[in-house]
């Protein structure tokens, strides 16, 4: 009898999904990029934040549409240009049993400033103080050193750590055994192999339906595909373009794609000694590039056209911005009008190992520009050599991708569009030395706008001016995120825009 009971139990467990029990025993995920550290501040790479979002919570969180939702803070408001007021969630416990309090928040922001442990130095150094309001420990004011309109937009990736256990343990231990408030508790991490998490049944958002999660590191793309073809894992990230058809042909796999957050674009040197100083020349280059051909022929259809760098969930994304049409005749006319009837010579720099088919894309662009008389010398090199040249502004034409982790177009603009200003940290990636007084003003002023609706409209306007009127960059396309799910596992999967594998969001029971 007992044996029969056991048998029924095993049977029941294995049918957990089908029986509509609303729980899934175990999900195995094949990661394309290994976790770097278990310290939630130790890496700002999405591949790492992705894992951390299961173990930790931020004051805010984001859902599968990229919408900002309450996290460890139940609500917030911007009191004045530099003050943000948060109401904290009561009754939350860390995995070690410690209560979540305002002091953990204060500790977290202090820790972000420490270069020994943090890759969020910019965020950490923005925060001046974290204090309770009128002695109420559940209401706090975070004061920034300067007005920052997107401050709260960034908080889904700033994970709150337990002050007591983080201070008491060595740095190595903190980076190996994470203690958070999140929906999953840490079990073990065998570096290079796998990371195991179990459901936190006391999670403030309710017990997570998936009880155990195993993240397997499978960096080689062929092996990752083999892993899901054999059902060794349930879900994989990043199907390589070269193996896409093979994956699609497999009846056991369902392929899920969505536009990536990263927008690819062409930057141009815009100092007066370059032809691209003239907006007509920039527009001519824009119109000489057949982006649909790049998408179809070079990217095998795995990209979608972009009219701006920001993607739809980003604050400041403006759906009204339209691409200039592909029109080589008009491009030639614009070049002639600008004084270059026979075109000119220019160097196009691109990385060879950073983005999917980066070198091939640059090659195709060079050929397209040749058709309107612009003679392009291609200079493609490994990213380790390419990126220092970009940050030293040693470029003429260059191929780059960008997305904003804080979902703010204006934050991106402070790095990519604002005139270079070392002191204030503006324009570090403005490799083309764009220097436009109007845009500088619009970008700087945006941070002082307290009214959220006005801020959105301001950002959208600035974005539109930059791309339609000033043509500061030539947007090309958004890359594509891809996933494969092993159908017999019965798992329903919805990807997030930021590619995070936040299990409570991406897997539906």
Residues interacting with another protein, by CB under 8 A? 34, 36-37, 39, 42-44, 115-117, 119-123, 125, 171-172, 175-176, 190-194, 216-220, 222-223, 226-227, 229-230, 232, 383-385, 387-388, 391, 405, 411, 415, 422, 424-425, 428
Q: Is 287 helix (H, G, I), strand (E, B) or coil?
A: helix
Side-chain-facing half-sphere of 141: CA atoms under 13 Å: 15
C-beta of 359: minimal distance to another protein in Å?
A: 17
Please report the DSSP string for 445-472 in residue order.
Answer: HHTT---HHHHHHHHHHHHHIIIIIS--
Nearer to another protein, 50 or 123 (CB): 123
Nearer to another protein, 85 or 354 (CB): 354
C-beta of 378: minimal distance to another protein in Å?
A: 21
Give the whole-angstrom CA distance, residue 270 versus residue 433: 6
Nearer to another protein, 230 or 377 (CB): 230
C-beta of 6: minimal distance to another protein in Å?
A: 23
Torsion of CA 328, 330, 331, 336, to 10 degrees: 130
Instruction: For residue 70, give every residue at least 6 positions away whose Cβ sits within 8 Å of its Cβ, in sequence order, or none.
Output: 60, 61, 89
Instruction: For residue 88, give every residue at least 6 positions away whose Cβ sits within 8 Å of its Cβ, in sequence order, or none.
Output: 59, 72, 73, 74, 100, 101, 102, 105, 137, 138, 139, 140
C-beta of 402: minimal distance to another protein in Å?
A: 9
Do β-strands 184-190 and 194-199 pair in parallel, antiparallel, or remain unpaired? antiparallel
Give the whole-angstrom CA distance, residue 171 versus residue 42: 11
Contact 509, 22 (CB under 8 A): yes
C-beta of 383: minimal distance to another protein in Å?
A: 7
Please report the DSSP string for 5-52 in residue order.
Answer: HHHHHHHHHHTTTTTT-S-BS-EEEEESS----S-TTS---HHHHHHH
Nearer to another protein, 401 or 497 (CB): 401
Nearer to another protein, 302 or 411 (CB): 411
Nearer to another protein, 190 or 249 (CB): 190
Nearer to another protein, 5 or 192 (CB): 192
C-beta of 478: minimal distance to another protein in Å?
A: 18
C-beta of 192: minimal distance to another protein in Å?
A: 3
Nearer to another protein, 253 or 321 (CB): 253
Containing H/E element for 232? none
C-beta of 172: minimal distance to another protein in Å?
A: 5
Measure CA 133 to chain center.
Answer: 33
Nearer to another protein, 75 or 223 (CB): 223
Measure CA 368 to chain center.
Answer: 30
Nearer to another protein, 45 or 133 (CB): 45
Measure CA 337 to chain center.
Answer: 40
Please calculate the CA angle 217-221-226 and round it to the nearest 5 degrees: 85
Nearer to another protein, 2 or 422 (CB): 422
C-beta of 155: minimal distance to another protein in Å?
A: 14
C-beta of 241: minimal distance to another protein in Å?
A: 17
Torsion of CA 99, 103, 105, 106, to 10 degrees: -170
Please report the DSSP string for 115-132 in residue order.
Answer: TTT-S-HHHHTTEEEEEE
C-beta of 235: minimal distance to another protein in Å?
A: 15
């Amino acid at each position: 009898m007992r044996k029969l009971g056991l048998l029924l139990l095993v049977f029941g467990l294995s049918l957990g999904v089908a029986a509509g029990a609303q729980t899934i025993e175990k999900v195995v995920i094949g990661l394309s990029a290994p976790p770097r550290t278990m310290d939630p501040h130790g890496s700002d790479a999405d591949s790492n934040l992705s894992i951390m979002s299961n173990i930790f919570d931020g004051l805010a969180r984001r859902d599968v549409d990229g919408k900002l939702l309450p996290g460890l803070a139940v609500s917030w408001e911007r009191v004045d240009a530099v003050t943000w007021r948060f109401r904290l969630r009561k009754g939350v416990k860390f995995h070690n049993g410690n209560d979540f309090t305002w002091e953990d928040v204060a500790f977290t922001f202090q820790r972000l400033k420490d270069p020994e442990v943090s890759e969020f130095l910019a965020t950490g150094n923005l925060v001046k103080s974290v204090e309770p309001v009128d002695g109420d420990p559940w209401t706090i004011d975070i004061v920034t050193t300067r007005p920052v309109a997107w401050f709260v937009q960034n908080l889904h990736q700033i994970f709150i750590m337990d002050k007591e256990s983080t201070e008491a343990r060595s740095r190595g231990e903190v980076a190996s055994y994470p203690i958070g408030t999140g929906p999953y508790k840490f079990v073990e991490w065998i570096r290079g192999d796998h990371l195991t998490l179990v459901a936190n049944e006391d999670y403030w958002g309710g017990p997570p339906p998936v009880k155990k999660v195993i993240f397997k590191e499978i960096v080689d793309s062929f092996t990752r595909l083999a892993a899901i073809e054999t059902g060794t894992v349930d879900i994989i990230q990043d199907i390589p373009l070269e193996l896409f058809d093979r994956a699609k042909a497999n009846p056991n796999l369902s392929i899920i794609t969505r536009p990536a957050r990263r927008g690819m674009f062409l930057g141009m040197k815009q100092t007066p000694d370059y032809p691209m100083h003239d907006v007509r020349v920039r527009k001519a280059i824009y119109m000489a590039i057949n982006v649909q051909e790049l998408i179809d022929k070079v990217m095998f259809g795995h990209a979608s056209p972009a009219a701006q760098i920001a993607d739809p969930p980003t604050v400041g994304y403006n759906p009204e911005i339209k691409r200039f049409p592909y029109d080589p005749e008009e491009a030639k006319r614009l070049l002639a009008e600008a004084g270059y009837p026979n075109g000119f010579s220019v160097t196009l720099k691109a990385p060879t190992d950073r983005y999917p088919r980066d070198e091939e894309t640059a090659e195709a662009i060079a050929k397209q520009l040749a058709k309107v008389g612009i003679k392009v010398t291609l200079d493609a090199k490994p990213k380790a050599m390419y990126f220092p040249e970009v940050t030293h502004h040693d470029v003429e034409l260059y191929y780059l991708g960008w997305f904003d982790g804080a979902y703010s177009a204006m934050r991106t603009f402070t790095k990519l569009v604002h005139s270079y200003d070392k002191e204030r940290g503006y324009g570090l990636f403005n490799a083309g030395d764009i220097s436009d007084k109007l845009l500088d003003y619009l970008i700087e002023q945006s941070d002082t706008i307290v009214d959220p609706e006005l801020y959105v409209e301001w950002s959208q306007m600035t974005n539109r001016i930059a791309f339609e009127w000033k043509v500061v960059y030539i947007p090309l396309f958004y890359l594509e995120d891809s996933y494969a799910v092993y159908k017999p596992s019965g798992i329903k999967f919805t990807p997030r825009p930021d590619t995070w594998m936040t299990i409570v969001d991406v897997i539906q029971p």
